[in-house]
């Protein structure tokens, strides 16, 4: 089976898409862990952060910039919000298509679990 996020990019699987451009897409997480829980992904399949190369540096910046803009649009910045990239199964990565979690609308603790 093809990667679920690639299927969402191609319109072959449903998602509540909140942003898209030529390189990135953002949609609501299926199992939200906060009142706002969005995933920002590259359109191109890149399995994880550790597989990104020097050529991907503009893309990595773009993912964070889009996350920050979506947070701003949702008035999350005042209370604080969290961006997370889980890298590898041991860190909780379950979908092997790079994604930045954007979580907001509640308090967050540190260190994370
Ligand atoms: P990870 O555990 O890899 O950091 O995060 C994967 C995230 O993708 C999880 O928060 C999970 O709820 C979400 N997810 C998994 N499958 C789907 C799906 O088909 N659609 C959407 N919108 N989110 C998904
Ligand atoms: Zn993919």
User: pTM score, two decimals?
Assistant: 0.98
1 has a pLDDT exceeding 90: no
How many whole angstroms from 16 Cα to the centroid of ligand 2? 17
Ligand closest to the CA atom of residue 12: 1
Q: Mean pLDDT over residues 58-67, rounded?
A: 98
Structural domain including 14 reads: 4-104
Which pLDDT tens digit goes with each residue over 87-101? 999 999 999 999 999
Question: Is residue 43 over pLDDT 80?
Answer: yes
* Strand segments (E) across 21-63: 24-28, 36-42
| Domain count across the chain | 1
The answer as to whether 37 is a domain residue is: yes
Q: Is residue 43 part of a domain?
A: yes
Q: With beta carbons less than 8 A apart as the criterion, state whether 91 and 51 touch.
A: no
Determine the pLDDT at residue 52: 98
Residue to mutate (ligand 1; options 8, 30, 51; most atoms within 8 A of CB)? 30
- CATH number, domain containing residue 68: 3.30.428.10
User: Up-side HSE of residue 101: CA atoms within 13 Å toward CB?
Assistant: 21
CB of 15 shorter than 6 A to ligand 1: yes
88 inside domain? yes
pLDDT band at 56 (very low <50, low <70, confident <90, very high): very high
């Amino acid at each position: 089976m093809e990667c679920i996020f690639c299927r969402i990019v191609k319109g072959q699987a449903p998602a509540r898409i909140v942003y898209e451009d030529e390189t990135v897409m953002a949609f609501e997480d299926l199992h939200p862990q906060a009142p706002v829980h969005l995933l920002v992904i590259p359109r191109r399949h890149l399995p994880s952060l550790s597989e990104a190369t020097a050529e991907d540096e503009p893309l990595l910046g773009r993912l964070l910039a889009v996350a920050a803009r979506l947070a701003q649009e949702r008035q999350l910045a005042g209370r604080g919000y969290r961006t997370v990239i889980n890298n590898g199964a041991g860190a909780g990565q379950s979908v092997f298509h790079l994604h930045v979690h954007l979580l907001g609308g509640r308090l967050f603790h540190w260190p994370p679990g």
